[in-house]
Chain A
């Protein structure tokens, strides 16, 4: 009698509990949908007012009501790709050193360093990039290059320090730990039997890495690169502080030393001053474009990582 009653009680408690969990989960889903809908709704003034010219225009002049987003979109893509290209060899080097050559004792401090680099807030990268790195880069890298091969347009002057290339460099430093830690995880999953087989054939460690570990980890490394790219595309503060926020690149001045404006730096530096509905809408439409690009990159990341895991393990 008593147990029957408590079992009915349990069932009700279980239903309530499951209801709470489902509502919390549905809240997350709802907010994600709301995020999309709000961005679309708020960018309507721009979508209707600017039309397709928004995506192809190269001039951004709120005074005249002209909003062309192409330079910002291109800058975002260029800085991110450049950053990832710089970061890949470094991340691979760290991952190979960590999994193959590092003495056991050094592994804990090494992962600590990698994790800490990933944990440093981006605004700190910004202040460091702006006040420490920019002057150094200007004097010791940009000026000599401009002086020697500055006649080639993409290396043209003047050297300001803050520039597209500085933003890419800072971004590269920020994505190295992201790519490296995932690559370490992937390389560590190489089946030991395969590696032992190579070693028993007399292969050196490098030959084992080159012929077994790297081919085995190929897809996983691609996933790590996608993850880093997604992070680079959306990065805001460090970029805003070091990129110069000028619409010069790439049309007015194609040099990698020219100041530029990314999608995120445009939003971060102009959102306050935006007064008219179409100005605000244009900035929000920029964020919508960014959202679509980053979600696509992340979806690709998840597709690849799930393929490497055959469905389950990581995500």
Chain B
């Protein structure tokens, strides 16, 4: 009798945890379903190649926002990935348990916990106030800063797991430490650095809060990197709240593009790193 009730408890927990897992997956499928159902009808050639129509007029597209997101992401990556990789290399190959190293480590870790809107305010106070106008450069700075801890951590972790045998072999060959670090250890660890950078890129592609007070928004094609610039993220926010059915539909269309970008990168990274992952568990 007691054994039966214990087995029943086990069965109950099995079913309960299964049910919870299914419930937790529902929102993901629901969101993706909604984005496809609402967004697909918005997408056509004009949507992908034109700029937004003025308020009150129908039609128009979001091509300037697509371009803007790509430009700002590219600039952010140019700043965030090198700084992240260099910091990660330092943390993996040069850092010790001393004060100096732990200050650097603490700063990198703290950055990863800073809310994204605060990066926007920081970029605003540092760049927008100095320039006295909204600029895409400030947005790229804020997003690049968000990439640094992600890339640094990926670099550090993938360089750390490189076997010391390889480092020792390089020492035995008389290869200087910088070449050992860059050409050999980083060479072995490059897969992890690339996937970390891709995930950081996917992450900033969806970040909206840092863009609100930096790149702002624009109804026109980008005119320069020190000017306000439209982005998919801010377009979704503005149009979703605008209340005009046309605009809301376009916001769903933009959401579909953004979700596709984010999911493709994440699934690709996940599939590529799959064998390693299994080992880890």
Interaction A to B: yes
B25 at the interface (CB under 8 A from A): yes
Q: Nearest Cβ distance between residue B230 and chain A, in whole angstroms?
A: 14
In the complex with contacts A13-B176, A206-B10, A291-B114, A90-B20 CB distance below 8 A? yes
Complex alpha-carbon distance, A42 and B120, angstroms: 14
Give the contacts of B92-144 with A (CB-CB under 8 A): 94, 103-104, 107-118, 121-122, 124-126
Complex alpha-carbon distance, A102 and B22, angstroms: 12
Q: Nearest Cβ distance between residue A270 and chain B, in whole angstroms?
A: 11
A264 touches B236 (CB 8 A): no
A125 touches B122 (CB 8 A): no
Q: Which residues of A contact B266 (CB under 8 A)?
A: 115-116, 119
B206 at the interface (CB under 8 A from A): yes
A124 touches B236 (CB 8 A): yes
B213 touches A272 (CB 8 A): yes
Partner of B252, one of A108, A117, A122, A127: A127
Closest to A127 in B: B240
Complex alpha-carbon distance, A116 and B113, angstroms: 20
B167 at the interface (CB under 8 A from A): no
Q: Which residues of B contact A21 (CB under 8 A)?
A: 86-87, 89-90, 94
Q: Which residues of B contact A114 (CB under 8 A)?
A: 24
B86 touches A234 (CB 8 A): no
A276 at the interface (CB under 8 A from B): no
Complex alpha-carbon distance, A117 and B266, angstroms: 11
Closest to B203 in A: A119
B10 touches A207 (CB 8 A): yes
Closest to A23 in B: B86
B70 at the interface (CB under 8 A from A): no
Complex alpha-carbon distance, A110 and B266, angstroms: 14
In the complex with contacts A115-B270, A121-B262, A14-B176 CB distance below 8 A? yes
Complex alpha-carbon distance, A38 and B125, angstroms: 7
Contact with B along A25-44 (1 / 0, CB 8 A): 11111011011001101100
B interface, size bucket? 35 or more
A120 touches B240 (CB 8 A): no
A interface, size bucket? 35 or more
Give the contacts of B70-96 with A (CB-CB under 8 A): 82-83, 86-87, 89-91, 94
- Choose, from A144-152, A216-224, A294-302, the stretch at the interface: A294-302
B16 at the interface (CB under 8 A from A): yes
Complex alpha-carbon distance, A258 and B252, angstroms: 27
* B residues at A contact (CB < 8 Å): 6-7, 9-10, 13-14, 16-21, 23-25, 27-28, 30-31, 34-35, 82-83, 86-87, 89-91, 94, 103-104, 107-118, 121-122, 124-126, 145, 148, 152, 176-179, 181-182, 202-203, 205-209, 212-213, 233, 236-237, 240-241, 248, 251-252, 255, 258-259, 262-263, 266-267, 270, 274, 277-278, 281
20 A-B interface contacts by CB (under 8 A): A31-B145, A102-B21, A108-B274, A108-B278, A111-B270, A113-B28, A123-B208, A123-B233, A127-B255, A132-B30, A176-B24, A188-B281, A205-B14, A207-B6, A234-B113, A234-B115, A236-B208, A268-B117, A271-B124, A294-B114
